[in-house]
Structure 1
């Protein structure tokens, strides 16, 4: 799509609705292609679900499996580039262990992850018999989201606090020929899409007692996970994956169990000073991510791009590429 191409509806550029990692990454990718982009976000970036994320690159709780690997690898390569300037981008390459995971049980994408290897049992930490070692992108989300906004602005785009409430994204459609719906869980009402459902994740932030590597043990069929991610100024402990629970209030009992599970792997975590608690709702979707274009009654284009479950950060750049193809081909 040429940046000057338009139609009968207002601005000739594109409006991306949603200011989380998916919306911002999509907007940046469009702007990199020369499209004039405005992001409309109900919330400041620091208040989005994305700001709560851990956020380790790894395909987790996301479908369809046939697409996820390719999307994830596109993102992996981009994050590897961004890790060259971690202070600005928030992206670092950090070593760690995925416990309870076998290399043979992963998809073909795993063969393209540099350095991913099966550990001998004696090297797997905690009460786990198997595990994988890797050096993967770990993203400090508040920093990364701010970088995405700055990058968008640098490319001539804009970030605006605007709320869309009307059916068919009417407010945005009145100002742009092309609208990209990156509204996450809110698409349940805005589209509406009854396939969307929340998966609640609770985190505990503690002072880092000297943990320099990440760890995860995540069973996709369980509502409990164990992980810790060292981020600048804090260690993020998790977590939960509670389907259809929409409470944003941290549960003290759940928090205590999270700390206890993490301390089984690194005992020093048990005495770490608690800095705070966070809760986010992952936008899971039955049938998987939706990246699909449809014509509006006025002839404009509406591109849906939501339902990334627990892996929005992991697939952000790959999915943005696909959404940008639909915009530019529309």
Structure 2
């Protein structure tokens, strides 16, 4: 057995974890069923915010660590795809959030008119908004520069990786249902619509945890991204035209100019949800190390760097 690391999963969690390990000097290979551009991460909205993810105590730390890194990456937005953009989290108040909120620079109550036609309470913030296709490409290049590699390889069982490496990090997302027989990880389907941007420069989100329908628009370089849905245990990757129409309608109630915007693309992604993120370590019978890092739901981008650093700590003293 070689003293190397295999990271299973090539989405934002897997790539970020692989980078942290490779930059610590380890020999890292990423095994992924499909290239990063076809993972769920590629269709994510890309806004930093701890959304639909537990456990809350750790999520705050993971999110803030990631926030600091994204703030640095935003200085090279053309290269990384990370920008700091202002917008409104509607229906949210500071006293509803965890302790982490006090460490988000500039987070405050929104003023009248800052959220278009939305007249309710909300928070104004300047947060990382990430162009995911660009960012995933940049992550791949950073991994290669650190000496890591990416291999397209579909696993039937996790033991295939365990047989080849002294350390395996399981970042397989929804794939963990089969790879480690974990029925607790399940899909939460998200449908989005990309339209030509009619001149909107700020983002808006209104997410009701009790509802399957969410309302948000995110100005990306390729267009205005409209959402969305949160359909639990729905495996369909086919866009529903009626749902798309409702998404546009909800967003246009906030910014009327969206109603006439030309539709460019429809997207569907399956968030790998779990009651709580699984981030732990096993010592295998043969002495190898298996670290799990999956179940991030709709906040994989938000916690990616914090979870990657924690996963690297769990790898710990395994041979490098």
Q: Bin the TM-score by the shorter chain.
A: over 0.9
Matched, 1:293 2:284: no
1:138-287 mapped onto 2 (5 Å cutoff): 138-166=129-157, 169-286=158-275
Indicate if the aligned counterparts of 1:60 and 1:220 stay in contact, CA closer than 8 A: no
* Structure 1 counterpart of 2:305, from 300, 314, 317: 317
Aligned residue for 1:84, secondary structure, equals helix
Distance (Å, rounded) in 2 between the aligned partners of 1:230 and 1:121: 21
Shift of 1:122: 5.0
Q: Comparing 127-136 with 39-48, which one deviates more in the overlay?
A: 127-136
In structure 2, the partner of 1:5 is none
In structure 2, the partner of 1:80 is 71
Matched, 1:136 2:124: no
Return the TM-score normalized by structure 2: 0.97
In structure 2, the partner of 1:6 is none
Backbone CA RMSD of aligned residues = 1.0
Number of residues of Structure 1 aligned to a counterpart in Structure 2: 318
In structure 1, the partner of 2:27 is 36
Q: Deviation string for 1:181-226 (max 9, x for gaps)?
A: 0000110111010111110000001111111111100112211100
Indicate if the aligned counterparts of 1:54 and 1:229 stay in contact, CA closer than 8 A: yes
Indicate if the aligned counterparts of 1:178 and 1:302 stay in contact, CA closer than 8 A: yes
Moved over 2 A (4+): 120-128
* Structure 1 counterpart of 2:295, from 297, 307, 312: 307
Return the TM-score normalized by structure 1: 0.94
Shift of 1:124: 3.9
Q: Deviation string for 1:12-63 (max 9, x for gaps)?
A: 1100000000000000111121111111111011100000000100000000
Indicate if the aligned counterparts of 1:55 and 1:139 stay in contact, CA closer than 8 A: yes
Aligned residue for 1:212, secondary structure, equals coil
Indicate if the aligned counterparts of 1:16 and 1:179 stay in contact, CA closer than 8 A: yes
Distance (Å, rounded) in 1 between the aligned partners of 2:40 and 2:113: 37
Distance (Å, rounded) in 1 between the aligned partners of 2:61 and 2:116: 30
Indicate if the aligned counterparts of 1:99 and 1:128 stay in contact, CA closer than 8 A: no
Shift of 1:233: 2.1
Distance (Å, rounded) in 1 between the aligned partners of 2:111 and 2:36: 41
Shift of 1:175: 1.4
Distance (Å, rounded) in 2 between the aligned partners of 1:140 and 1:122: 27
Q: Deviation string for 1:68-93 (max 9, x for gaps)?
A: 11100000000000001111111000
Q: Comparing 118-127 with 105-114, which one deviates more in the overlay?
A: 118-127
Tell me, which stretches of 5 or more residues in structure 2 are unaligned? none
In structure 2, the partner of 1:46 is 37
Indicate if the aligned counterparts of 2:113 and 2:119 stay in contact, CA closer than 8 A: no
Shift of 1:121: 4.3
Distance (Å, rounded) in 1 between the aligned partners of 2:19 and 2:170: 15
Matched, 1:62 2:53: yes
Distance (Å, rounded) in 2 between the aligned partners of 1:192 and 1:297: 18
Distance (Å, rounded) in 1 between the aligned partners of 2:263 and 2:111: 33
